[in-house]
Chain A
Amino acid sequence: MGDAFGAIRAVARAEVRVGWRATLLMGVVFGLVAGIVLGGVGLAGRTASAYPRLVEAVHLDDARTLVAADQPQLAAAVPSLPGVAQARTDEAWIAQLDGPALRFVSIGAPTTAHENLLDPVVVEGRAPARDAADEILLSESIAQSSGLGVGSIVTLRMLTLDQVSKFDVGFGPPAGPSTTVRVVGIGRMPAWGGALAPVQAGPAFAAKFLPDIIGYSIYVRLAADPDAAQRFGAAFARTAAVVDQISPSLISQYTQRTVELPSATVDPSVRAAEQVLVGGLVVFVVVLALGGLQVLGQSMVRHHGVRGGTQRVESALGMRASERAAARVLAAAGAAAVAGIVAGGVALAAGWLEPLGSQARFEPEPGFRPVWSLVLLGGIGTALVFSLVVAATAAIAGRRRATVVPSVRAAAINPLRRWPAALLGTRLAMHGRLGRGGVPAVATVIAASLAMAGVVAAISFGASLQRLVDTPARYGHAADLTIVDAREADIARLVADPRVAALDVGAAGTAELADGDQIEVTSRDVRKGRMPIAVAGGRMPTGPGEVAIGPRLASRLGLDVGDTLEVRRIQGGTVTLQIVGKAVITSQNHGGIGDGAVVAPDVMRQVAPGQPLYDATVLAVPGAADALFAELSRNLEVFQRDVPTAVANLADLVTLPELLALVLAVVAGSGLAHALLTSGRRHAREVAVLSVLGATPGQVRATLAVMAATTVLPALVVGVPLGLGAARVLWWQLATATGVAGDLAVPGRLLFVIVPAVLVAALLLSLAPAARAARTPPAVALATG
């Protein structure tokens, strides 16, 4: 055993002497990739946990309610209602805030100290001091929308309870006290709004303005039993009903008789965003990890293969395969450590990354937040994986070659192989073998093709995503403005307005399919211009027997263009509609994309019972939308275009495929560069033989260039279409799930550049081994090869 270890050490020392540079480089590159993977995992974790961590950090209340100031007995009763474990009663005011933008805000302030119940995370500045009546903390969203920050001085003019009761009918200037306060902090909370005021002050404020409160915000920590929420809710409703009878409130229309349950109800858009973002990150991490492992594996096999002969000698001297592999692992221990340190370092640096996209607004600890377990275990794991790859590839490279050598066709030399460079170059590229050539050439070509496919797929997918986000028509939001319940007079005025490029009057209603399924149908009455609507296939309906359905509805019903849809008529019986296209239309009811149907107006009247919802959608000429909105909103209910949550979530992911393409290209590119740069050394003997036969340096260069091209060309020929195919399938799936058009945006110009660029890069890379071959006298190459 001691002997074996001595031999292992000796071999390891020799390996370090000859190959430390290459091994170290592989360690650094692998460490970088592993670090990005670890960073991605950490980021996915941070993104997925942002919301629950914020809930925990702020000690979010389980239940809350707002009680009017003129019903103090109800507020006093809440803490002792069934199901309540702990309660906190804050005082509440409504004030006009004289900031950069005039608005009404609600203000809350605790009267007593409270433990572990609703403390906003202060992301900037500090919380109001207990004894300062002139300090406030703002919610992030109000700070942003009102243009206020830490240090801002604002005046709060409070409303009286009487004024609040007249809020919707007009009440004159605020009649309550005025006070000037300073913004000392910006706070973060998962569920501002409702009973939780976006302006928070301290106990001193509460004491000072006690006479002027309009209500009590009561936050409750429920008992641990599962039906505590229900018990509390029922008890509160009962108590409130009793109090309402004894002393009705002035502002009963603004107070609730049900309780909010903030910790139990999570906004579904938060969940959806989290799923999309984490899903995207997981795909990113998995693809990158597989790519990195594959490239490291192949480079390592090649690395061991360059001196494949030494293992045969060691084997002849009696070293077992495990000992030979152990020697190589020992030799690569330094590089493995470097890989681990680099990976850990990158993972540590990734601690700066905030949660992805929309989830960043829930991060309770903004800034540097490394995952130490990921840094340490990930670093160690990376070093271990690196060593494992070294061992496995050493074993592969040291394996005895196959004994059966297939004969080749004894055909005449193909005329295409007129140049010896073409004959030898393609042979060497296609028939690299274990032991000397290292990676079987087929494996190199497959790896390069997959990498190429990955890059192309990521780029195309990213381009499609970008196009979706940039083109509102693709998610059914072509119009700049939507006017709800538009009257004909307003419509006529708008049609005449030169700032209006297109105007449709849409009607929406619900129709029933023959099988009882309910779908939303819309009809569009074109009054001016042409509203761009994404048609994912076919066309829009024009006649009475036609319908266009949304992509998501099509996939749910399993129907396509050319099929028919049977819809119940209001007067009984059914009408059969021909599906002439797939159109991306957003629902007017729930904002869902692509799950409705579009029909002609008279079909609409036949199939949708009741008064349909009318709206006018307006596309402004470029640049005119804002002015038009400002003007119309003075006397009409107008909405500007908003980005649907599903699309907003995807928009947050837009850079991910591009980043993936970039990192994959770097990883695959370095693998390919390694293959090409070592090609001269791996085939040193063959190149020397070529010189012996009288090949000029030019012919040697040509041979290596052909080799490089033969390695890269199949990757381009196979990888580009494969990548486009993969992107098409993936994009189609995502598009259908989202309800938008599923056609892929092929980045033609980019691909047009990539293909020759890769080829030229390969040819340039082949110059290096050619120069080395020219410097080495063939006699030396023959002796060492």
Chain B
Amino acid sequence: MQVSASFEATARAVDAPLPDDVPDPSAVGPAAPPELVVRGLRKTYEAETAPVRALRGVDLTVGHGEFVALMGPSGSGKSTLLHLLAGLDRADEGSVTLAGVRTEELSGSRLARLRRRHVGLVFQFFHLIDHMSALENVALAALVAGARPAEATERARDLLDTLGLLEKQGERPAALSGGQRQRVAIARALANRPTLLLADEPTGALDSDGAAEVLDLFTRLHHDGQTILMVTHSADVAGGAQRIVRMRDGMLLGGGTDAFGEQP
């Protein structure tokens, strides 16, 4: 598969100068605090009929370089949890500590800066911008973080190259296959070298080949030291992870703080 053939490029890409003041993840040793600490997280949606308690006290710790799979039945609160972790919505109660920073008291713009430095997000339905080429979609993320256009372009090219999509760099998302789109989305999530990669059912909309492609990519990223928290419904996909955390009715089963809670 071309993905593995060009994988060394990732290392080169990671060595390129960093935009903004993103801390270099390689500087963080094994003794550093965990990448992500969640304590007592609660979230209730005000629905028309009865309020939906989507999260009912979630505690979770993800260490550096860990690859965690989050599984659970539909409606158990997985996406809600991921959104709160990324700061895309506010929790009612509890705390999220990202790279040592408590997020609940941050202003919108500080939260945005924290997110751009530390969090990469991948969605089931890609959420690429239709009016932009693959290259521009990836470069946009770097531009948001303050990279100069030339740097952003170079970084996007490197990432697309790494993910085997260099010849598709000029295509609009609509002209790409599902697997290709998801790889562009992953490249975009990696554009600012996040310390934490959050993925919400990244293989959910893909066929088995596409899913394998993405999982292979995640495994390699993990081997390279990338911290990953991935929601999935598929036991096969979860099997690629280091640890599986299960969720039901807005709560994690077995606490979820144990770094070695459940081996796949």
Contacts and interface: CB of A to CB of B under 8 A. Distances in A.
Interface string A223-235: 0000000000000
A782 B122 CA distance: 12
A697 B80 CA distance: 22
Most central of B117, B119, B141 by chain A CB within 10 Å: B141
B113 A696 contact: yes
B188 A782 contact: no
A778 B121 CA distance: 12
A418 B115 CA distance: 20
Given A695-B144, A774-B108, A431 B131 contact: yes
Most central of B86, B127, B129, B150 by chain A CB within 10 Å: B129
Interface string B81-103: 00100101110000000000000
B140 A694 contact: no
B127 A420 contact: no
B172 A407 contact: yes
A427 interface: yes
B153 interface: yes
A423 B145 contact: no
A694 B130 CA distance: 19
Given A417-B149, A423-B136, A782-B127, A696 B108 contact: yes
Contacts of B123: 782
Contact of B90 (A418, A697, A777): A777
Nearest to B170: A410
B91 to A, nearest CB: 11
Contacts, number: 122
A622 interface: no
Interface class of chain A by DSSP: helix
Interface in A250-298: none
Interface string A654-695: 000000000000000000000000000000011011111111
B181 to A, nearest CB: 12
Interface class of chain B by DSSP: helix
A692 B127 contact: yes
Nearest to B112: A696
A696 B109 contact: yes
Contacts of A427: 129, 131-132, 136
A414 interface: yes
A424 interface: yes
A698 interface: yes
Given A415-B150, A696-B109, A410 B141 contact: no
Contacts of B150: 412-413, 415
B174 interface: yes
Given A415-B150, A694-B192, A433 B144 contact: no
B133 interface: yes
* Size bracket, chain A contacts: 35 or more
A10 interface: no
A408 interface: yes
A696 to B, nearest CB: 4
A28 to B, nearest CB: 30
B205 to A, nearest CB: 14
Given A417-B149, A420-B144, A410 B133 contact: yes
A780 B54 CA distance: 14
A428 B144 CA distance: 16
B5 to A, nearest CB: 21
A419 interface: yes
B136 to A, nearest CB: 7
Contact of B135 (A410, A690, A694): A410
B171 interface: yes
A417 B143 contact: yes
A361 B26 CA distance: 91
A690 B116 CA distance: 10
Contact of A695 (B90, B112, B130): B112
B152 interface: yes
A785 to B, nearest CB: 8
B139 interface: yes
Nearest to A420: B143
B172 A405 contact: yes
Contacts of A418: 143, 148-149
A39 to B, nearest CB: 43
A699 B109 CA distance: 9
Interface string A76-115: 0000000000000000000000000000000000000000
Interface in B141-172: 141, 143-145, 148-150, 152-153, 169-172
Contacts of A696: 108-109, 112-113
A643 to B, nearest CB: 58
A413 B136 contact: yes
B16 interface: no
Most central of A409, A424, A694, A697 by chain B CB within 10 Å: A694
B88 A692 contact: yes
Given A405-B172, A407-B170, A777-B89, A694 B149 contact: no
Interface of A: 405-410, 412-415, 417-420, 423-424, 427-428, 430-431, 433, 685-686, 688-699, 774, 777-780, 782
5 contacts: A407-B133, A408-B171, A427-B132, A699-B112, A777-B90
Of all A-B residue pairs in the complex, the 3 with the closest CB atoms, nearest first, are A694-B116, A410-B170, A431-B131
Interface of B: 80, 83, 86, 88-90, 108-109, 112-113, 115-117, 119, 121, 123, 127-133, 135-136, 139-141, 143-145, 148-150, 152-153, 169-172, 174-175, 188, 192
Given A405-B172, A413-B143, A418-B148, 11 more contacts: A405-B175, A410-B133, A412-B153, A420-B144, A427-B132, A430-B131, A689-B127, A692-B121, A695-B112, A779-B88, A779-B89
